[in-house]
Amino acid sequence: MSLQQEIIERLGVKPSIRVEEEVRKRVDFLKKYVTKSGVTGLLIAISGGIDSAVVAGLCKQATDELSQETGREYMTLGVFQPYGTQEDIDHSYEVAKAFNLKHTVETNIEDAVNEIALETEHAFKALSIHRHISIPGKGNVKARTRMVVQYALAFDLNLLVVGTDHASEAITGFYTKWGDGAVDITPLSTLNKRQVRELAAHIGVPKSVLDKAPTAGLWEGQTDEGELGITYDENSDYLEGKDIPQAAREKLEKQYLKTEHKRSAIPGI
């Protein structure tokens, strides 16, 4: 078995999908897990990007159906988490409006992140290391701080935290371990980026979000494809079992092997 075949099998990606079936399967998956867990709904952080937009739509459909079927109120809570001023936060609000989210909150993480960065720099100084926290390091603090706030809300509101991770992120390890990779449930996990876009178009994600360049938003000017040097078309083709340019294949497989620790359970002895 080639490494490509091994990765596809492990991540569970299909070479093509029937969009309506995939939506139904993922909504039912969310409903079943909510019921099994005994919670009262789902929490999704809406970044303004396509992945969280799709998850928000799936969550809202799931909790609406549960409310109708059981007579109990289940909620989808949309959380907006800017760091200071977020230029594209209007896209997050567009997503919430498109799916008629009744429950939304905005939690600005800037002060908390800056305090953590400052304490880290004090620690550096105590070690006789005179430097600032790195840009990627602070980016990881942002991702992890967002998750702390999400879980603080979810715990007291009896909600599950829903993640946006999909196979095109899993293969590259392009997420922050215990940041955006630390969630309760991931309804997109066996889809590649192209397939997520297919679901987005089907369920009515706003065009302004569909047309955006994918970014984790961890620092100014950062884009997924620019940082990784691999296009999402190449990534999706690979996960669908197609041939891609050798340079892209080598880069993608190297990234997969380098980030194995992110996909593995915590090792013990």
Q: Which helix (H) or strand (E) holds 105?
A: strand 103-106
Q: Is 227 exposed, middle or buried (0-12, 13-18, 19+ CB in 10 A)?
A: middle
CB contact burial 244-256 (16+ within 10 A = b; e otherwise): beeebbebbbebb
Task: Give the whole-angstrom CA distance, residue 243 versus residue 251.
Answer: 14
Q: Cα dihedral sign for 126, 127, 130, 136?
A: negative
19-37 helix and 193-203 helix, angle to the nearest 10 degrees: 90
| Number of H-type helices and E-type strands within the chain | 13, 4
Task: Give the whole-angstrom CA distance, residue 34 versus residue 41.
Answer: 7
Just list the catalytic residues: 51, 169
Angle at 92 between CA 59 and CA 191, to 5 degrees: 50
DSSP symbols for 1-43: --HHHHHHHHHT--SS--HHHHHHHHHHHHHHHHHHHT-SEEE
Angle at 225 between CA 25 and CA 141, to 5 degrees: 85
Task: Give the whole-angstrom CA distance, residue 24 versus residue 124.
Answer: 50
